[in-house]
Amino acid sequence: MYRSLATLRHQIDKLIEQQGEDASVAAFIFTKNDVFYYDVDEDGCLDLNEEKYLSDNDSDDVLIEIGCNDYIYSQVNEMIEDEVKRIRRRNVTVQEPSTNG
């Protein structure tokens, strides 16, 4: 999902209001500062000494593409489903009553 930091702040404020400041959360935030590349030096190796940033418009294009990509959301939802199943199985195993006669 693509949005501005101001929009994100507003949505987070609403979540805090609904769920409380101490509610658990897993978050991944990418900003224009994450959209960069490294040049290749004269030896053909990556020059890791200097990050090269794209223009704001090009960074927006990259972030919009990431935010609109269903694959990422599908993977996260699959992980959530798997973890919920794992936790439920664990809880059932722990809570099974003993059969004493």
User: Which own/partner contact pairs does 51-58 have at CB distance under 8 Å and 24+ positions apart?
Assistant: 56/32
Tell me: pLDDT of 94 over 80. Answer: no
Residue 3, in any domain of the structure: no
Residue 59 falls inside a structural domain: yes
pTM of the entire predicted model: 0.70
The total number of structural domains that make up the chain: 1
Residue 12 has pLDDT above 90, yes or no: yes
Residue 40 lies in a domain: yes
62 occurs within a structural domain: yes
CA distances from 42 to 36, 45, 46, 47 (A): 20, 7, 9, 9
Give per-residue burial for 74-90: e unless 16+ CB within 10 Å, then b.
Answer: eeeeeeeeeeeeeeeee
Which residues form the domain of 66? 12-92
Report yes or no on 31 lying in a domain.
Answer: yes
Q: Is residue 99 part of a domain?
A: no
